[in-house]
Amino acid sequence: MFVSITTDHRSLINSLSELGISSGSNPIVSLSEFTYKKGKTIYIESEPAEYVYQVRKGAVRTCKLLSDGRRQIGAFHLPGDIFGLENGGVHRFRAEAIIQTAVRLIRRQHLETVAENDAVVWRTLLSLTTNNLQHAEDHMLLLERKTALERVAAFLHEMDERLTAADVISLPMSRRDIADYLGLTVETVSRAVSQLHTDGVLDFIGNTQREIVILDRQRLASLDLQS
């Protein structure tokens, strides 16, 4: 049920590169790189959205904080993903590096200028936003109508699809991050994972609890029920 955001996102910076605005006249301003240490903030809510980012390495979470301390994670961004694209010119979420993370960034201003006369860029921007929308819609369904076990299964299913590189799912985010993403508590997430373990759906690798192997993809997918 989760959208592969990655696919189309890659194409933005690619297409921008093709358009010659990337490493053209001024590579430092127009398309530069930056790294963030674990836990560091990339931007905060209501900050002017000066840049659009692409994850090159690591992982990023975008989240909101409520007045009473509750936290909502809207999405996780993995290598290849684009984030920080806003329409109103102001960030509606806060972005933080979950682990050591490297990003590429483009001045928003450049996009606007180039887009003005180019349908390809417009189409790409719209496509990116639509993918975000689709992810949000799927996530709404999860939050509205699914049990704790179904949510965790859906999360693992999503990660399994997005981290297809290896057999082992190496989760960069903590149980707390997962809980805040799924609208659950740490304890409930832990219990759900444990149950999936004892049910033989997954297994742990190594001594840390963040390296997971899916043993029974079919059962996992059956828990992540579709619309």
Task: Give the binding site for its own copies (CB under 8 A).
Answer: 45, 64-68, 70-72, 74, 86-88, 92-93, 115-117, 119, 122, 125-127, 129-130, 132-134, 136-137, 139-141, 143-145, 180, 182-183, 225-227
Q: For residues 161 and 142, what is the distance between their CA atoms, to the nearest angstrom?
A: 17
Q: For residues 31 and 82, what is the distance between their CA atoms, to the nearest angstrom?
A: 14
* CB closer to its own copies, 125 vs 149: 125
* CB closer to its own copies, 143 vs 168: 143
* CB closer to DNA, 19 vs 148: 148
Q: Residue 8 CB, nearest distance to its own copies (Å)?
A: 10
Please identify which residue in 1, 188, 205, 219 interacts with DNA, judged by CB under 7 A: 188
Q: For residues 207 and 222, what is the distance between their CA atoms, to the nearest angstrom?
A: 28
Q: Residue 65 CB, nearest distance to its own copies (Å)?
A: 6
By the rule CB under 7 A, 67 interacts with DNA: no
By the rule CB under 7 A, 186 interacts with DNA: yes
* CB closer to DNA, 7 vs 195: 195
User: Which 3 state secondary structure label does DSSP give 42?
Assistant: strand
* CB closer to its own copies, 30 vs 131: 131
Q: Residue 120 CB, nearest distance to its own copies (Å)?
A: 10
Angle value at C-alpha 223, between 143 and 127, nearest 5 degrees: 55
C-alpha distances (whole Å) from 108 to each of 139, 151, 175 are 27, 35, 33
Q: Residue 196 CB, nearest distance to its own copies (Å)?
A: 20
User: Which 3 state secondary structure label does DSSP give 48?
Assistant: strand
Q: Is 85:12 a contact under the CB 8 Å cutoff?
A: no
Q: For residues 54 and 26, what is the distance between their CA atoms, to the nearest angstrom?
A: 19
Q: Tokens standing for 168?
A: 């082992």
Q: Residue 41 CB, nearest distance to its own copies (Å)?
A: 16
Q: Which residues in 138-167 contact DNA (CB under 7 A)?
A: 147-149
Residue found by looking up tokens 């887009």 in the block: 115
Closest CA to 83 of 135, 119, 143: 135
Q: How many CB atoms lie within 10 A of CB 188?
A: 17
* CB closer to DNA, 3 vs 189: 189
By the rule CB under 7 A, 168 interacts with DNA: no
Q: Tokens standing for 71?
A: 């936290």
Q: Residue 134 CB, nearest distance to its own copies (Å)?
A: 7
Site residues (CB under 7 A) for DNA? 147-149, 174-176, 183-191, 193-194, 207-210
